């Protein structure tokens, strides 16, 4: 059976009134003083390890042989991020690919034409490389060089933006769970099998009572209780074709359907109401026409990880 217990056992259907009341909008916009609160947030991104020693692979007959050429398949921003692959100077960046275990140097295009170098990248046990965007770095492919003098450039560019761009990005979107959290195991993932259906969100494990925040300002589309979802809220993002559903809240949300909300405003608290065991947020991301109004859910994990990287 596994631990399929974090989520409604039956396919989740919205109450009919959720859509009907959507039209009864016009409530006043309220901003919350909560936005000023400094929540203790533990980032779930990788922490640097010290396993960076470049040890050549042992050859079958003794001695050493050079491994294959390093290959970079993806670069992603981990901290001070403007976008999934855009940061600023001193952003931490994860590089994934193959044959990266002997990486000793990572470089970026430089403002002066000379490459901007990080001479102490960290190789993770997973084989990924962590680097920090050096001063003087500009946008472009990231180059990885190993202890054998072999190197490879990323196919995709990494963007290096400005502090003003970072500030603007942070104002726009926020990670919903404002406290220590984790993304759980396979059963917490979007698409994980459930009895009779698949999981259409990502579970974020956190202590009951942890504050939940509006990911992106917009209008409250639904607020109610349902046997499987427990206390739930859906927010329609104002200028983006995204709806955000929050489920299993500890208590009914104080938000009112039709109310305009701003990024960071309090939605409620993590709970385990409805068909759920264990405190967690069940988070759904709907695109297109939206939540049960013609749109469809997509895997929210990449965006959750991105928001988590800076907020």
Using CB under 5 A, list all residues that contact Zn ion. 7, 203, 282
Closest distance of CB 213 from Zn ion, Å: 19
The residue written with tokens 């640097």 in the block is 48
Closest distance of CB 8 from Zn ion, Å: 7
CA distance 57 to 177: 43
Task: Give the nearer residue to Zn ion in terms of CB position, either 106 or 285.
Answer: 285
CA distance 115 to 124: 24
Task: Give the nearer residue to Zn ion in terms of CB position, either 109 or 230.
Answer: 230
Task: Give the nearer residue to Zn ion in terms of CB position, either 203 or 236.
Answer: 203
Task: Give the nearer residue to Zn ion in terms of CB position, either 68 or 278.
Answer: 278
Task: Give the nearer residue to Zn ion in terms of CB position, either 158 or 291.
Answer: 291
Task: Give the nearer residue to Zn ion in terms of CB position, either 7 or 216.
Answer: 7
Task: Give the nearer residue to Zn ion in terms of CB position, either 169 or 234.
Answer: 234
Closest distance of CB 304 from Zn ion, Å: 13
Closest distance of CB 283 from Zn ion, Å: 8
Closest distance of CB 11 from Zn ion, Å: 12
Question: Which residues make Cβ contacts (< 8 Å) with residue 91, sequence separation at least 6?
Answer: 77, 78, 79, 80, 81, 132, 133, 160
Closest distance of CB 199 from Zn ion, Å: 6
Closest distance of CB 201 from Zn ion, Å: 5
Closest distance of CB 215 from Zn ion, Å: 16
Task: Give the nearer residue to Zn ion in terms of CB position, either 266 or 282.
Answer: 282
Question: Which residues make Cβ contacts (< 8 Å) with residue 38, sequence separation at least 6?
Answer: none
């Amino acid at each position: 059976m596994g631990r399929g217990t974090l989520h409604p056992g039956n396919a989740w259907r919205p109450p009919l009134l959720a859509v009907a009341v959507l039209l009864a909008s016009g409530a006043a916009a309220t901003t919350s003083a909560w936005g000023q609160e400094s929540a203790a947030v533990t980032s779930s991104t990788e922490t640097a390890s010290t396993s960076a020693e470049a040890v050549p692979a042992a050859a079958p007959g003794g001695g050493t042989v050079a491994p294959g050429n390093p290959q970079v398949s993806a670069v992603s921003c981990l901290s001070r991020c403007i976008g999934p692959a855009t940061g600023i100077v001193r952003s931490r960046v994860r590089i994934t690919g193959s044959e990266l275990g002997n990486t000793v140097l990572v470089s970026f295009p430089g403002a002066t034409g000379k490459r901007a170098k990080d001479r102490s990248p960290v190789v993770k046990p997973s084989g990924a490389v962590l680097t920090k965007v050096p001063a003087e770095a500009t946008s472009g492919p990231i180059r990885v060089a190993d202890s054998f003098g072999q190197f490879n450039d990323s196919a995709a560019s990494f963007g290096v933006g400005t502090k003003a761009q970072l500030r603007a990005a942070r104002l726009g979107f926020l990670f919903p769970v404002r406290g220590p959290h984790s993304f759980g195991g396979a059963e917490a993932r979007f698409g994980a099998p459930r009895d009779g259906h698949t999981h259409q969100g990502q579970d974020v494990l956190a202590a009951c009572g942890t504050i939940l925040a509006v990911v992106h300002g917009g209008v409250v589309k639904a607020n109610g209780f349902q046997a499987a979802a427990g206390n739930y809220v859906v927010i329609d993002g104002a200028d983006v074709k995204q709806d955000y559903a929050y489920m299993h809240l500890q208590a009914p949300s104080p938000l009112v359907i039709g109310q305009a909300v701003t990024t960071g405003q309090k939605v409620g608290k993590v709970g385990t109401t409805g068909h759920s065991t264990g405190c967690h947020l069940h988070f759904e991301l709907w695109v297109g026409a939206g939540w049960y109004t013609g749109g469809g859910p997509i895997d929210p994990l990449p965006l959750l990880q991105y928001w988590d990287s800076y907020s």
